[in-house]
A and B are shown apart, each in its own frame.
Chain A
Amino acid sequence: MIELSSVSYVYPGQACAALREANLDVKEGETLCLIGRNASGKSTLCKVAAGVLKPAAGSAKVDGLSVGEECTRIEIRRRVGFLQQDPESQFVSVTVEREIASGPENLGFSVPETRKIVEELLGFFDLAELRKRPPHALSGGQMQKVLLASLLAMRPKHLILDEPTSYLDPLERLCVGKELKRISSVLGTSVVWVTQFLNEALASPRMVAMEQGAICFDGSPAEFLSRHDIHSALGIESLERFLLPGPGLPRTMRFR
């Protein structure tokens, strides 16, 4: 369980708080989509929830472990899989398969187990042909798939994903969404998923919206649809374009 209570954060040298008294509970096996305008604090919230940033005020806990303390840091990192925004800056290995294997290897998974996980993920993400390629030489979408695969390979209890599908094409976005749903229900993984694609958010069971560092909405998509005050606060003029042909499909799919 991830528990943020009245969390605030100010970046060094900045006058404005990036995060203002944010409260958020994410239960085991729960999936939520985090939306909001640019610079509204989504990534900062992710960094706190992932144990990367220590809150300036308030408290953040992952499975009861306090974020920002030396003694809990390693344990929190082990439990939380965190995908950051810039794909290029997150690679540690020289080939795609080594990249995916590096997590389970470092966590002490056995060789056959690691191999099995890597093969499964290479297959699922359609990366088998690229296995010997350096991750840096891939396209943006392929990089994102490798990063997602390497994160899933570690079987984390919580996934914090900061725009994990932004460089993927519409069909791949749909597949990744389905897979995350499956993982969450089968393994009980909790998923916090930042997205700029409103249709992805509307298809998730819970939506959280941020504006100017504060959480301004936390509820179901059905509730979100009826909150016109929130729509205007978020600068969403019309929701209709995100609603066709049905939740779960990328909005571009309606051009079929």
Chain B
Amino acid sequence: MFPESFTFSIADWVNDWVDKLVTNYGDVFRHISDTLLWAIVKLEGLLRVAPWWLLLAIVGLIAWHATRKIITTVVIVGLLFLVGAVGLWDKLMQTLALMLVATLISVIIGIPLGILSARSNRLRSVLMPLLDIMQTMPSFVYLIPVVMLFGLGKIPAIIATVIYAVPPVIRLTELGIRLVDEDVLEASRAFGANPRQQLFGVQLPLALPNIMAGINQTTMMALSMVVVASMIGARGLGQEVLLGINRLEVGRGLLAGLAIVALAIMFDRITQAYGQRQQGVQQ
């Protein structure tokens, strides 16, 4: 038995802190969440209003541009068509909107953080353990405070998704920049490139294959959060899975699960193909 006298708890302290945060900064968080909500509702509305064939055509074009393979393109478009055919098109669009916004936010946060931590060993030594914690901490733990701060719905779902999905893009951006050939960077410095020219002209382009791999990982991890997100009120495919589980409707859950897989295949093939193409140019 662990001696009673040695025990202590930070639980109360954390509770107090979150309470204070909610009371004092509730308005700020509300404002952030309103802006975010506006963006995601618009995107979702757009995706759901747009004709299905147009969206399939756009996905097909992007897939073709990325992979340059007919078979891959046909398979991706075919899978999405099947998802629509089993009656999950609307849910698919809701999930897609959530995914796109979460990935976009992850990239907007992740790439600059990756760049900064590639430049500063100190930041890196703080950030890396933090990322480990973010990835291993059970997501329900931070779902609670996030729900307290932002309420139920799409916003906490996106924030929880971003927390879980942002580490790979940070890590791989950092790795990519650190792996840039020292000789090449020195050459750009020798010709008088300023830090901005070094970053955008040399470091980022050369780190792009790694950054794309990071974005790929991030989208995959965001997808894996879809079901959890539905528990705090995000609608879409995750909600279908949840309903299937709750009502013991195995078929319903399986169909929605397969639809998520189809979405995953689409994101994976497209981002991977862009990453590989970048690598091809360099080697």
> Do A and B originate from a single complex?
no
Identify the B interface with A (CB < 8 A). none
